[in-house]
Amino acid sequence: MKRDFLTLADFNKAEILSLLDRAIEMKKTSAPAGAPLAGRSVGLMFEKASTRTRVSFEAAIYQLGAHSIYMNPNDIQLGRGETAGDTARVLSSYMDAIIIRTFEHERVEEFAKYSRVPVINGLTDRHHPCQGLADLMTMLEKKGRLEGLKVAYIGDGNNVANSLLEGASMLKMDLSIACPEGFEPDPLVLEKAMKSPGKNEIVVLRDPKEAAGRSDVIYTDVWVSMGQEKKSDGKKDRFKNYQINDALLSCAKPDAIVMHCLPAHRGEEITDEVMDGPRSVIFEQAENRLYSGKALLEKLLMAHS
């Protein structure tokens, strides 16, 4: 049966936890014996530049025994006006799964609608579910649990924040988002997360110290997301008090960890001292993109045979 992964909410709680367990298991062992995806082909269609998403998925595809095909839209007919639906129909007749990194979330939804094979959202302006999987994996590894964790997200309410909201509401984590007025997460995603049943708390605050207070995890991202540079006039001034530094970190629990999805603008949203400090798990978080990606590909492609 075909399954797509466009947001974290496409999977239920049990499926997410199973994926995380499988990713951690894969991390502890070598590449799966027998190359379970041998003979499969996976397309990567990226309209945005990428380091972690592209390289981690290409490595994951290789380690699972499959073959990757990288496509720049400017090198295929999609870049010359062919519709996403027509492209999806054709590519899904050649490949076993397609990973898309693009701008508007509606574009990946349209692609998934017409594709006969699983479609994975490698990033859109609204969601970053693959990053969300790696984030949850990292928290589970470092804290031994997810339910009841207190997570503080400091910064722009972007696609990463939206995926964190979905993960927190599903897995019953407390999530405090600190951002200036007007930079909140997607209102529909936020409303749904706040209405999810459970004892966890999800709040949007203005004071980053209040959000960081007694948190287990402090998370941040760049203040200006890729592709939004032309709309960023004055934005950095609005965020100058939302930097992850030693003073803010002192508000959290003594064993709190620091996370960032990368790339980082050092000296803006996070200082060198914190990013390279003993409480940072940022580069392990980046490494986990490989194992969470492998677990996701295995699940989607083994189910769609």
Enzyme catalytic residues: 101, 128, 131, 221, 261, 289
The CA R_g of the chain, rounded to the nearest whole Å, is: 19
Residues in the chain: 305
Interacting residues of 34 by C-beta distance below 8 A, sequence separation 6+: 65
Cα 133 to Cα 151: distance, rounded to the nearest angstrom: 15
Cα 278 to Cα 273: distance, rounded to the nearest angstrom: 9
Output 253-258 pairs: Cβ under 8 A, ≥24 positions apart. 253/150, 253/214, 253/215, 253/216, 255/216, 255/279, 256/215, 256/216, 256/217, 256/218, 257/139, 257/142, 257/143, 257/216, 257/217, 257/218, 257/281, 258/217, 258/218, 258/219, 258/220, 258/282
Read off the amino acid at residue 227: G
Which runs of E-coded beta strand occur in 91-235?
A: 97-101, 119-123, 150-154, 174-178, 202-205, 217-220
Cα 34 to Cα 29: distance, rounded to the nearest angstrom: 14
Tell me, rounded to whole angstroms, the distance of Cα 221 from its chain centroid.
11
* Structural tokens at position 12: 């239920």
